[in-house]
Amino acid sequence: MKKRREYIAWVFLAPSLILYLYLFVYPAIESFKISFYKWSGFAINMEFVGFKNFSKLISDTSFLGVLKNTLLLLTIGGIGIFLLAFVLAFLLGSGIKGKKVYRTIIFFPYIIAPVVLSIYWGLLVYNPRVGILTQFFKLLHIEVLSKFVFTDISHIFWSVLFVTIWSRVGFFLILLMAGIERIPPYLYEAARLEGATELQIFFKITLPLIKEVLVIAMIFWGINAIKMFELFYAFGGILPPRALWTNAIYLYIIGFGKRDPIFQLGYASAIGVVTLLLIIIFALIIRRLVKKEIYEY
């Protein structure tokens, strides 16, 4: 009977497993293989160059700048998102009326397409002449900020990073609140009766009991941050400035060119492999830092 159930399970799993292997695992293996070759993507013959593509990355100033942007996005963006998510989760969990409405409003930006977000923030919010921020600072008579060009090349990365935090925080808020709502209320009641402050309750009860959810959320953010493409590329237009290049954008530019094709598929595959390694390293670090503990309640 048990073998029959396993057989039925494999029958149902087989189509999805085959598609996953063919569409995800097989391309990943091929990409790793191509990273050892010099190849345009169109020629029949590929020139084997070994680790030259990877050694080239070390001396590639453009890639090092891109890597810096990606790590800033990963760390600063992650800190901003999770700090805001925890603060909002605390406020929404404090018994405020209309919690579901507020949660929906905060989550809404996450479902908006990155291209629409870039148009909205670029033309309506950051616009140096008629933008919402410019008009707001004029009303407050803060001349320095009213003349500040948020889309200037020197700080456009930080402007887009703010949009990223604003648009993603809702998703991670929902994840954290799902974990918090699983915690039995009597634990909080007992802690308050013992005279614990809200800060002590957060660090002694809430945070330890949502560790697994937090790990999943952080790993999910890491994957999205390291391979982020759409919002930064859409904000930069047809020819995104180097200040907005991320790993994914640089990979695309090297592989398929900007306006003029470059077609260095071998080198682009090496960038893809490094991106995958960054994701794996980040996931391992998070799993190591946030140790798994078993709590009984």
> 130 — phi, psi (to 5°)?
-120, 15
What per-residue confidence (pLDDT) applies to 280?
92
pLDDT at 264: 86
Q: What is the pLDDT of residue 148?
A: 87
38 φ/ψ angles, rounded to the nearest 5 degrees:
-95, 110
Largest CA distance in the chain: 77
Positions in the chain whose pLDDT score sits under 50: none
pTM of the entire predicted model: 0.87
**Hunting for tokens 């003349």 — which residue is that?**
147
3-class SS string, 126-145:
CCCCCCHHHHHHHHCCCHHH
Residue 48: which H helix or E strand, with range? strand 47-48
Cβ atoms of 53 and 35 within 8 Å: the answer is yes
pLDDT at residue 218 in the model: 93
Tell me what pLDDT residue 53 has: 92
pLDDT at residue 1, as a whole number: 60
Domain locations along the chain: 57-289
| Bridge partner list, 47 | 38
Tell me which of 3.20.20.70, 1.10.3720.10, 1.10.10.10, 1.10.4100.10 is the CATH number of domain 57-289: 1.10.3720.10
Amino acid present at 286: I
pLDDT at 13: 87
What is the per-residue burial (b if ≥16 Cβ within 10 Å, else e) of 77-112? bbebbbebbbebbeebbeeeeeeeeebeebeebbee
